[in-house]
Amino acid sequence: MKQKSLRASWAILVVLFLAGTAARYGAAVEPQQSAAERRERFRTMSRQAEERGLAEPYKGITTSAGAVPNLFAIRSTGVTTEPVRAAAEAFLAALSAEQRVKTVFAVDDPEWRKWMNQHFYVRQGTGFLEMSDAQRDAALALLRASLSAKGLKLSRDIMRLNHTLGELNNDNFDEYGEWLYWITVMGQPSATEPWGWQLDGHHLIINYFVLGDQVVMTPLFVGSEPVIADAGKFKGTAILQDEQNKGLALIRALSDEQRAKAVLEVSKTGNNNLGEAFRDNFVLDYAGIRAAELTAPQREQLLDLIWEYVRNLRDAHARVRMDEVRAHLDNTWFAWIGDTSDSGVFYYRIHSPVILIEFDHQRPANLRHRIASPYPNRQHIHAVVRTPNGNDYGKDLLRQHYQRHPHPHNH
C-alpha cells in the first residue's frame, strides 16, 4: 500500500489485535499492490507483532491470584518418546545443511513464542513447499510419530482446508494453500536433554516439547475457515464438529440453575478467544460453573469433551495428560457465551490450574467477500489449548531441568 492512511490503518489493526480487542481479520491485499510490496507489508506487520508480543519475558497464563507453584514435576511417565526422537532425527537428516541452519534453534530460544494464526505472518524454519518429496515424507512422519491418528488427521485436514480457502479466494495459492506450513526444531532430539518442535501456519500451530519421556503439547491452535469443504479439491473435508457438538451437548445437559452460572452472556456478536498468538502472559480468572457442582454424569461429559482435545496427542501420552486433568477436576470451570440452539454460534472455555481450552465461532475473515453477515458463523472456528501456570512450551519443566543441570547459556 502506498497511501499513508492505509498504512496507518494497518498499524492500528495490528495494535488492536495484540491488545486482544480487535476481531481476528484477514489481511486483504489491495489490487494495485505488487507482490514485493505485499511481502514487505507482511514482514512489517509480523515484526511489529513480535516486538509487542515478546516485550515481556514469559510468565505464563495465570489468574489474578498469581501463578500456582509446584503443579508440574519432572518425572517418568513410563511412556517412551523414542519414536518421536527418531522421527525428528530422520527429518533433520533429510534436510540440506542450509535448511538445517534455518530450522534448528536453541531449546530456550524465543522462537517457541513466535507463532501466529494469521496467514500473513512471516514464519521461520523450513516450509513444506520448499521440501522435496522425501523431506516432506520425513516431516509428515514426525507428525505421525508425535500425534495420535486423530491428531494427524485433524492437522492434515486443516492444511487441506487452507487449500479450499485459496480456491474460495479466486485460487489465491500465494497466501493460502495446503503446504504453507513451516517446521522448526528447538534443541537437538535427545533421550535425556530437553528439545522439541513446532509446526506453524494458518489455523494450525503445534508446539511439542519433550523431556525424557514427558511431553507438553501446548500451545495448540487448530481451526479453519471454512471448517467444511462443500466443493473443490477436498470436498467433504470437515473438522471440529465433535468439539462443537459435544460442547453444545454439555451446556444443554445442565439444569437451569447450573446453566445460569455457566452462561456468561447469551449474545455473541464478536470473537471471544483470549489465548491466541502472543498472549502467553494474560491474566484470566475462573468463570462459569465448577465441575465440583456438576453431577457425576455431567462430570463425565466434561471429561469426554476435554478428551476430544487432549487425544490429538499420541495415545499413551494423552492418557498421562488426562490423569493430570482429573487430578484438578473439582477446580475445573466451564463457561459459555452465546446461543444454545441447534444452529447457534457460541464460545466455551474449560479452565483449570493445568489446562485451558477455548472453542470459538468466529466472524468472517478471509471469506468476508462471500458472507454478508459480519457476525460469527459456524464456518469459521478457532480452538486453543494451553497449559496455565507457566508450563506452555514445557517452560516450567525446562526451568526445573536447568536448576538440576545448569547449562552455560541458558536464559
Residue 408 is predicted with a pLDDT of 62
pLDDT tens digits, residue range 294-338?
A: 999 999 999 999 999 999 999 999 999 999 999 999 999 999 999
Q: Using 50, 70 and 90 to split pLDDT, how confident is the model at 31? A: low
Query: Based on the domain organization, do 47 and 158 belong to the same domain?
Result: no
**Between 23 and 41, the higher pLDDT residue:** 41
Query: Based on the domain organization, do 49 and 89 belong to the same domain?
Result: no
Residue 311 located in a structural domain: no
pLDDT tens digits, residue range 359-375?
A: 999 999 999 999 989 99
Residue 34 is predicted with a pLDDT of 82
Average pLDDT of the residues in 89-98: 98
Into how many domains does the chain fold?
2
Secondary structure string (H, E, C) spanning 168-192: HCCCCCCCCCCCCEEEEEECCCCCC
Query: Based on the domain organization, do 117 and 228 belong to the same domain?
Result: yes
Query: Based on the domain organization, do 49 and 88 belong to the same domain?
Result: no
Average pLDDT of the residues in 103-108: 98
Cβ contact 232:164 at 8 Å:
yes
Query: Based on the domain organization, do 102 and 226 belong to the same domain?
Result: yes
Name the helix (H) or strand (E) containing 151.
helix 149-168
Residue 38 is predicted with a pLDDT of 86
Given a cut of 50, whether residue 378 has pLDDT beyond it is yes
Query: Based on the domain organization, do 40 and 90 belong to the same domain?
Result: no
Which parts of 321-401 are beta strand (E)? 333-338, 346-351, 356-361, 381-386
- Block residue for cell numbers 504453507: 180
- Domain hosting 121: range is 82-234+394-404
Could you tell me the pTM of the whole model?
0.91
What is the spatial distance between Cα 136 and Cα 70, in angstroms, rounded to a whole number? 40
pLDDT averaged over every residue in the chain? 92
Among residues of the chain, what percentage have pLDDT more than 90? 89
Task: Calculate the alpha carbon distances from 226 to 223, 256, 267, 277, 373 in Å.
Answer: 9, 33, 23, 20, 15
Q: Using 50, 70 and 90 to split pLDDT, how confident is the model at 28? A: very low
Residue 246 located in a structural domain: no
Name the helix (H) or strand (E) containing 198.
strand 195-201
Residue 124 located in a structural domain: yes
Residue 27 is predicted with a pLDDT of 43
Residue 272 located in a structural domain: no
Given a cut of 80, whether residue 44 has pLDDT beyond it is yes
Residue 44 located in a structural domain: yes
Average pLDDT of the residues in 151-179: 97
Residue 72 located in a structural domain: no
Given a cut of 70, whether residue 241 has pLDDT beyond it is yes
Query: Based on the domain organization, do 48 and 94 belong to the same domain?
Result: no
Q: Minimum mean pLDDT among 27-36, 284-293, 371-380: which range?
A: 27-36
Residue 291 is predicted with a pLDDT of 98
Name the helix (H) or strand (E) containing 245.
helix 241-253
- Block residue for cell numbers 462443537: 244
Task: Calculate the alpha carbon distances from 381 to 150, 212, 344 in Å.
Answer: 18, 34, 13
Residue 324 located in a structural domain: no
Average pLDDT of the residues in 338-350: 97
Query: Based on the domain organization, do 47 and 109 belong to the same domain?
Result: no
Average pLDDT of the residues in 376-404: 97
For residue 231, report the phi and psi dihedrals to the nearest 5 degrees.
-160, 180
User: Distance between alpha carbon 215 and the CA centroid of its chain, in Å?
Assistant: 16
Residue 136 located in a structural domain: yes
> Across the strands, what pairs with 339?
none
Query: Based on the domain organization, do 105 and 11 belong to the same domain?
Result: no
- How many alpha carbons lie under 13 Å from residue 189 in its C-beta half-sphere? 21
Q: Using 50, 70 and 90 to split pLDDT, how confident is the model at 36? A: confident
Among residues of the chain, what percentage have pLDDT more than 70? 91
